[in-house]
Chains A and B, each alone.
Chain A
């Protein structure tokens, strides 16, 4: 009787250990997120048509010295969409000067003469990418079309660039 009791105890103990090891299992996964650098965009230079004459269209190319320029910083090498709010007229008091045929190019340095990628500024998104250093330069040009009887004056309007990661 005594010998049986010892054997039983040993076997039951072994079962408890085995069951404990096998009955609970776990596996890990990672939870991850990447917080991007905040985007900063500033209007660096106005798009300046200079003097224009009644009845004579004038075009400024994105690569011109008087093109509009936006400077932006953000997450290195991240993709962003550019969207624009563009005027259809420059305004001087109650007079309008039509503007259109917008052109643009973006670059990772501030020299649009080389390596600038062309696009058409509009309310529709255009994709671009920050440089490895997190820089982006956007240049815009356009054409104004003064009427033959265009009133003299200083005409202005505002163009807005919005950048958003995608």
Chain B
């Protein structure tokens, strides 16, 4: 009898990660500063409906997650040229898509926790500021930002 109860406990341990697997994060939209004029700063607010970056997180109601953004401090351009980009405190927020959820602004350089209290989807938005030098090499500059979510 004693040994018969042990497999049931083990099965419950195995089942737990199946619920975790329902959590996902997807990149929806790039952070696009668009056309820049030499020597003139350009700012994209996280609330910008077109230019801000956007990720979508899906998780079960009640799930708690930790969000970590890895953002670049420069963009890479033609012939090895670089373009500094500033992504600082207040340049990111996370918000549930359900009614009553409000934007939770956070520092992209720090982790933030989020609870799926009223729905199964949340959106992260990211902005920043960029200032091409007066002698910046013309061309297209790119880099990558990563959103990592951890379930706990």
Contacts and interface: CB of A to CB of B under 8 A. Distances in A.
A29 B29 CA distance: 7
Give the size range of B's interface with the partner: 35 or more
B1 interface: no
Nearest to A31: B31
A149 interface: no
A25 B23 contact: yes
A148 interface: no
A51 interface: no
Interface residues of A, number: 31
B6 A25 contact: no
A111 to B, nearest CB: 28
B83 A30 contact: no
B10 to A, nearest CB: 5
Contact of A75 (B29, B132, B138): B138
Given A27-B146, A29-B29, A31-B30, A36 B14 contact: no
Interface of A: 4, 7-8, 11-12, 14-15, 18-19, 21-38, 75, 78, 164-165
10 contacts: A8-B10, A23-B150, A24-B151, A25-B24, A26-B148, A30-B30, A31-B85, A32-B30, A33-B141, A165-B35
Given A25-B24, A28-B144, 15 more contacts: A4-B6, A15-B13, A15-B17, A24-B148, A25-B148, A28-B147, A29-B31, A29-B53, A29-B126, A33-B33, A33-B83, A33-B85, A33-B140, A34-B141, A165-B35
